[in-house]
C-alpha cells in the first residue's frame, strides 16, 4: 500500500526540516512525499531543495490559503491512503506510518485518526495540550465532537467520490471535510488510541479572539453547505470541548 504524505508550507524555515525528516525517517518504505510551498521568501525553499531527490513532488507557487495548497497536494497524490503533516508538526515516532498502513490493511476502512499533542513552539518536548480522541458513533458531531485533523488519514477513493477541501472556509475547511465524510456520507473508520502527531501551538484558528469567532461562524456554515441542520449549542460545545485538553497529562 502506497501512503501519500502532503506537507503544505509558507515561510517556515525554522521548522520545515524537522517535518521533512519526520517523514523521511519513517520505517514504512512505500511513502510518496509531496511538499506544496506557497512561494516562501524566508529560506524555506532552499531547505526543501536539499531533499529534492527524496520527494515525489515539490511545487512552489502562490496560493490563497493553506487549504488551497492542500488541495494541490491531493491532486498530485497517487497513494491509496493520504495524510497531511504540516510544516510545524512531526510524527510522534518513526513507526507511525507503518502502524497506519497496517490498520488500513487489516481493518479495510475508509479513514482513521488517532490522538494529538500540542507542544510549545519554543520547546517541542513540552506538551501543552493533549487531544485524546475516541471511537466515533453517529451523532457525535452534533455534540461538538470532531477528530484531530492532523491525525486524519483517508483513502484517495474517498476524496475522489466526495471532494476535497472547501476553500470558501479558510479556517474551518478541515472541520467541514470531516463532517462531510463521517457525518453526512458515513464512511467507514477506525480510531488508533495513541498519539500520532506532535503539533506546535500557534495555529490559525486559535491565533486571536477574532479568528476564534470567524472559526465558529465557519463551523456553523459547514453544516449549511452540506444541507445539515445544526443549533448554536453544537458550535458552543465544540469550543468548550477543548478546555479539558489542557488538564490531561500524557507521557510521550
197-231 pLDDT, tens digit each: 999 987 555 556 788 899 999 999 999 999 999 99
What is the tens place of the pLDDT at every residue in 22-44? 999 999 999 999 999 999 999 99
Let me know if 208 is exposed, middle or buried by CB neighbors in 10 A (0-12, 13-18, 19+): exposed
User: Could you tell me if residue 188 is inside a domain?
Assistant: yes
What CATH number is associated with residue 10?
Answer: 3.90.550.10
Whether residue 252 has pLDDT greater than 50: no
User: Could you tell me if residue 103 is inside a domain?
Assistant: yes
**What's the number of CA atoms in the CB half-sphere (13 Å) around residue 211?**
10
Whether residue 176 has pLDDT greater than 60: yes
Quote the pTM value: 0.94
User: Could you tell me if residue 252 is inside a domain?
Assistant: no
Model confidence at 250, pLDDT cuts 50, 70, 90, reads low
Range of the domain at 172: 3-246
Whether residue 136 has pLDDT greater than 80: yes
User: Could you tell me if residue 211 is inside a domain?
Assistant: yes
Q: CA separation (Å) from 13 to 9, 17, 47, 86, 120?
A: 9, 7, 7, 13, 17
Model confidence at 7, pLDDT cuts 50, 70, 90, reads very high
Residue 207: per-residue pLDDT: 57
User: Could you tell me if residue 51 is inside a domain?
Assistant: yes
Which residues on neighbouring strands pair with residue 104, listed in sequence order?
A: none
For residues 223-247, give the mean pLDDT.
Answer: 90
More confident residue, 136 or 247: 136
Which residues on neighbouring strands pair with residue 113, listed in sequence order?
A: 191
User: Could you tell me if residue 149 is inside a domain?
Assistant: yes
Model confidence at 249, pLDDT cuts 50, 70, 90, reads low
User: Could you tell me if residue 82 is inside a domain?
Assistant: yes
Question: What percent of the chain has a predicted confidence (pLDDT) above 90?
Answer: 87
Among 1-15, 115-129, 207-221, the minimum mean pLDDT is found in 207-221
Q: What CA–CA distance (Å, rounded) separates 42 from 39?
A: 9
Question: 3-state SS string over the chain?
Answer: CCEEEEEEECCCCCCHHHHHHHHHCCCCCCEEEEEEECCCCCCHHHHHHCCHHHCCEEEECCCCCHHHHHHHHHHHCCCCEEEECCCCEEECCCCHHHHHHHHHHHHCCCEEEEEEEEECCCCCCCEEEEECCCCCCCCHHHHCCCCCHHHCEEEHHHHHHHCCCCCCCCCCHHHHHHHHHHHHCCCCEEEEEEEEEEEECCCHHHCCHHHHHHHHHHHHHHHHHCCCCCCHHHHHHHHHCCHHHHCCCCCC
Contact, 196 vs 103, CB < 8 A? Answer: no
- Per the structure, the count of domains in the chain is 1
Model confidence at 82, pLDDT cuts 50, 70, 90, reads very high
User: Could you tell me if residue 251 is inside a domain?
Assistant: no
Amino acid at each position: 500500500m502506497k501512503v501519500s504524505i502532503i506537507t503544505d508550507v509558507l515561510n517556515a524555515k525554522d521548522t520545515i526540516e524537522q517535518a521533512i525528516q519526520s517523514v523521511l525517517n519513517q520505517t514504512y518504505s512505500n511513502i510518496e512525499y509531496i511538499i506544496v510551498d506557497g512561494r516562501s521568501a524566508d529560506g524555506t525553499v532552499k531547505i526543501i531543495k536539499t531533499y529534492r531527490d527524496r520527494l515525489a513532488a515539490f511545487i512552489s507557487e502562490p496560493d490563497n490559503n493553506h487549504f488551497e495548497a492542500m488541495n494541490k497536494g491531493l491532486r498530485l497524490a497517487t497513494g491509496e491512503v493520504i495524510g497531511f503533516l504540516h510544516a510545524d508538526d512531526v510524527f510522534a515516532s518513526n513507526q507511525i506510518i507503518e502502524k497506519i498502513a497496517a490498520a488500513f490493511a487489516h481493518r479495510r476502512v475508509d479513514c482513521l485518526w488517532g490522538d494529538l499533542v500540542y507542544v510549545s513552539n519554543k520547546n517541542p518536548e513540552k506538551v501543552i495540550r493533549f487531544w485524546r480522541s475516541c471511537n466515533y458513533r453517529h451523532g457525535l458531531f452534533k455534540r461538538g465532537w470532531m477528530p484531530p485533523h492532523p491525525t486524519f488519514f483517508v483513502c484517495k477513493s474517498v476524496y475522489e467520490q466526495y471532494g476535497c477541501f472547501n476553500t470558501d472556509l479558510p479556517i474551518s475547511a478541515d472541520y467541514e471535510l470531516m463532517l462531510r465524510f463521517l457525518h453526512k456520507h458515513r464512511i467507514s473508520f477506525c480510531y488508533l488510541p495513541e498519539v500520532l502527531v506532535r503539533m506546535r501551538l500557534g495555529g490559525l484558528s486559535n491565533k486571536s479572539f477574532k479568528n476564534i469567532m470567524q472559526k465558529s461562524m465557519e463551523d456553523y456554515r459547514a453544516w449549511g453547505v452540506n444541507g445539515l441542520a445544526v443549533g448554536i449549542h453544537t458550535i458552543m460545545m465544540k469550543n468548550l470541548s477543548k478546555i479539558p485538553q489542557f488538564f490531561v497529562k500524557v507521557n510521550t
